[in-house]
């Protein structure tokens, strides 16, 4: 089995530098994600606190809506990190550009979840149904350890399936198979890398949560670069209808990978033949004896090929020049109309989120407003009534008209009741 490798420091260093160079962009992404998560928390709070007021159907609809938003954002984040790995600047609208692979991503996620749940489910079934092996000491502990190891191994083996769905457009089954082939020979490195990323993210959480604005983008970009590098080291991906990814020269130099040149999408690359400094230009209408003939027919006697220059279509290409058929094309650049559409979509989502948050806040204010009299805030235990000099016992203290106690103002003292006022709201309370 061929061993694959990637340098932890290089991929994390690339993620850190990219995060620093695009800090404003990631702050914007973080603000959008925070608003969306806050929106979900507000809806959850409303459903929990006022389940009798809000229709139960609304509470059931909130769960799939929240899940759909999370899936769209997850797809957008992967696309953004892959753009940075390709040394292209993404836009905030890419955070919601998930329509092309949404269902394939959902099915791949369901299959991924079912696969990694097989060992725990088998462990539970073995513990539920009686067997002779259950009498063995420490059998349950051994079973749990084995189930944990298998779960971690399967989760690592198929962890790159989402990248293949989004980046290469593979179906769920082929994405899982491509992930299995790509992670082969690198599972231990991926496990150690995941543990290291967890520690880095923990440090960000310990910094009052603010550090996650730096650690999360760093880890996600580093993971996307790991996917690129492992794919470049994986032969046989062409059986899934794809080829090894194009690694940018600056990243390939750091990782020590051999790369393919990326041509322009509209221009076919043609090798440029530079004449030797000491070569004299042949006379006009005279064939150069040092240049090979372009056709398959034998050259004329006066037209001898040059042994130092090979024809573009010759059978022996220059090893320093890559053949046209082996060069991959640049990923499709979205036209201006699609970019404008994505921008309008982003603006619509932000406006809708703002309207929903404002409406929810207004509803909460109306729902939490106490419509009952505020007579429970003070205790009226006695009245001493006399014309012009009446008094009352409120909260164990003797007060008179126009006095204020605990934020409550005494407006009028009657024989059997007292009028109170607080924050512009008046009520009448009788002696308890």
Domain count, the chain: 2
Label residue 136 by pLDDT band (50, 70, 90).
low
> Does 34 share its domain with 69?
yes
What is the rounded end-to-end Cα distance, in angstroms, of the chain? 87
> Does 389 share its domain with 345?
no
Asked if residue 238 belongs to a domain, the reply is yes
Using the predicted structure, report yes or no on whether residue 57 has a pLDDT greater than 50: yes
Longest CA–CA span in the chain (Å) reads: 138
Label residue 290 by pLDDT band (50, 70, 90).
very low
> What is the extent of the structural domain holding 244?
8-261+330-361
Using the predicted structure, report yes or no on whether residue 391 has a pLDDT greater than 50: yes
> Does 357 share its domain with 389?
no
Q: What gap in Å lies between CA 188 and CA 383, rounded to an integer?
A: 82
* Of the candidate ranges 334-343, 358-367, 372-381, the one whose mean pLDDT is the lowest: 334-343
> Does 425 share its domain with 339?
no
| DSSP code per residue over 189-245 | HHHHHHHHHHHHHHHHHHTTTTTHHHHHHHHHHHHHHHHHHHHHT-TTGGGGT--PP
- Of 64, 171, 179, 183, nearest to 107 by C-alpha is 171
Asked if residue 349 belongs to a domain, the reply is yes
- Do the strands 408-413 and 397-400 form a parallel or antiparallel pair, or are they unpaired? unpaired
Question: Across residues 212-233, what is the average pLDDT?
Answer: 93
Q: What gap in Å lies between CA 4 and CA 185, rounded to an integer?
A: 6
pTM of the entire structure?
0.59
The neighbour count for residue 366, using CB atoms within 10 Å, is: 9
> Does 117 share its domain with 150?
yes
Asked if residue 142 belongs to a domain, the reply is yes
> Does 61 share its domain with 205?
yes
Asked if residue 98 belongs to a domain, the reply is yes
Asked if residue 186 belongs to a domain, the reply is yes
> Does 344 share its domain with 421?
no
Using the predicted structure, report yes or no on whether residue 293 has a pLDDT greater than 50: no
Q: What gap in Å lies between CA 403 and CA 389, rounded to an integer?
A: 13
Q: Provide the β-strand partners of residue 421.
A: 409, 426
Element of type H or E holding 392: strand 391-394
- Of 59, 93, 54, nearest to 76 by C-alpha is 93
> Does 346 share its domain with 385?
no
3 state SS of 283: coil
């Amino acid at each position: 089995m061929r061993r694959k490798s990637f340098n932890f420091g290089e991929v994390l260093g690339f993620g850190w530098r990219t995060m620093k160079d695009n800090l404003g962009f990631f702050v914007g992404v973080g603000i959008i994600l925070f608003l969306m998560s806050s929106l979900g928390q507000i809806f959850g709070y409303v459903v929990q606190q006022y389940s009798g007021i809000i229709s139960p159907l609304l509470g059931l609809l909130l769960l799939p809506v929240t899940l759909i938003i999370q899936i769209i954002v997850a797809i957008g984040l992967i696309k953004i990190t892959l753009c940075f790995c390709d040394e292209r600047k993404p836009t905030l609208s890419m955070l919601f550009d998930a329509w092309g692979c949404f269902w394939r991503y959902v099915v791949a996620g369901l299959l991924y979840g079912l696969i990694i749940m097989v060992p725990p489910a088998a462990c539970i079934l073995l513990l539920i149904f009686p067997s002779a092996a259950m009498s063995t000491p420490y059998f349950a502990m051994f079973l749990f350890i084995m189930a944990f190891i298998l779960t971690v191994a399967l989760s690592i083996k198929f962890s790159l399936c989402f990248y293949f769905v989004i980046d290469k457009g593979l179906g769920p089954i082929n994405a899982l198979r491509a992930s299995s082939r790509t992670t082969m020979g690198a599972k231990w490195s991926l496990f150690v890398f995941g543990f290291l990323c967890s520690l880095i993210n923990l440090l960000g959480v310990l910094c009052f949560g603010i550090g996650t604005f730096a650690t999360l983008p760093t880890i996600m970009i580093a993971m996307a670069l790991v996917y690129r590098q492992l794919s470049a080291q994986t032969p046989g991906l062409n059986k899934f209808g794809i080829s090894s990814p194009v690694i940018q020269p600056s990243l390939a130099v750091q990782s020590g990978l051999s790369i393919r040149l990326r041509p322009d999408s509209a221009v076919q690359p043609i090798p440029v033949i530079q004449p030797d400094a000491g070569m004299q230009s042949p006379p006009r209408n005279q064939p150069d004896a040092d240049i090979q003939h372009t056709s398959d027919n034998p050259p004329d006697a006066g037209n001898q090929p040059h042994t130092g220059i090979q024809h573009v279509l010759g059978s022996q290409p220059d090893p320093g020049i890559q053949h046209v058929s082996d060069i991959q094309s640049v990923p499709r650049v979205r036209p201006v109309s699609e970019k404008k559409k994505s921008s309008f979509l982003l603006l619509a989502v932000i406006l809708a989120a703002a309207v929903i948050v404002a409406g929810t806040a207004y509803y909460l204010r109306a729902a939490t407003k106490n419509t009952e009299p505020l007579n429970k805030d003070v205790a009226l235990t006695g009245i001493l009534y006399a014309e012009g000099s009446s008094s009352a016992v409120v909260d164990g203290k003797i007060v008179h008209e126009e006095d204020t106690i605990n934020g409550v103002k005494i407006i009028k003292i009657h024989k059997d009741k007292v009028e109170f006022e607080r924050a512009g709201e008046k009520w009448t309370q009788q002696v308890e």
